[in-house]
Structure 1
Amino acid sequence: MSLISENLQAVHQAIAQAAQRFGRNPTDIALLAVSKTFPAEDVLSAWQAGQGAFGENYVQEAVDKIARVQQLSQAQEFGANTSSAAIEWHFIGPIQSNKTRLIAENFAWVHSIERDKIAHRLSEQRPDHLPALNVCLQVNISGEASKSGVAPEQCLELARYVQSLPRLRLRGLMAVPEASEDEAQQRRAFAALASLSQRLVAAGISVDTLSMGMSGDLAAAVAEGSTMVRIGSAIFGKRNYAV
Structure 2
Amino acid sequence: MKKIIQKNYKAVLDEINETIYKYNRKNVKLIAVSKTFPKEFIEYCYESGQKLFGENKAQELKNKSEFFSNHKDIEWHFIGQLQTNKIKYIVPICEYIHSVYREKELIEIDKKAKKFNKKQKILIEINSGEDSKSGIAIEQFDYFYELSKKYENIIVSGLMTVPPYTQDKEKLKEIFNSLKNIRDKIYIKDTNFKELSFGMSNDFKIAIECGATFLRIGSKIFGNRNYGSGV
Question: Is TM > 0.5 for Structure 1 vs Structure 2?
Answer: yes
TM, length-normalised to structure 1 = 0.87
Equivalent positions of 1:120-199 (< 5 A) are 120-126=107-113, 128-129=115-116, 131-140=118-127, 142-199=128-185
Secondary structure of residue in 2 paired with 1:120: helix
CA 1:128–1:66: 2 relative to 1, 3 Å: same
Counterpart residue number, 1:20 = 21
Q: Distance in 1 between matches of 2:181 and 2:83?
A: 29
Q: 1:50 Cα shift?
A: 0.6
**Residue type of the partner of 1:29?**
V
**1:135-188 deviation digits (Å, cap 9, x = unpaired):** 100101x22111100111111221222222122111100011122112222111
Counterpart residue number, 2:106 = 119
Identity, in percent, stands at 34
Counterpart residue number, 2:41 = 42
Q: Distance in 2 between matches of 1:238 and 1:128?
A: 38
Q: 1:89 Cα shift?
A: 0.6
- Residue 201 of structure 1: which of 187, 199, 206 is its match? 187
Equivalent positions of 1:227-242 (< 5 A) are 227-242=213-228
Residues 122 and 155 in structure 2, CA contact (< 8 A), matched pair in contact too: yes
Gaps of 5+ in 2: none
TM, length-normalised to structure 2 = 0.92
Q: 1:227 Cα shift?
A: 0.7
Bigger RCO (CA 8 Å, 6+ sep) = 2
Q: Distance in 1 between matches of 2:158 and 2:111?
A: 20
Query: After the TM superposition, which parts of structure 1 deviate over 6 Å for at least 4 consecutive aligned residues?
Result: none
**1:61-114 deviation digits (Å, cap 9, x = unpaired):** 2111222223xxxxxxxxxxxx32211110000001211111112212100000
Q: Which has the higher helix share?
A: 1
Gaps of 5+ in 1: 71-82
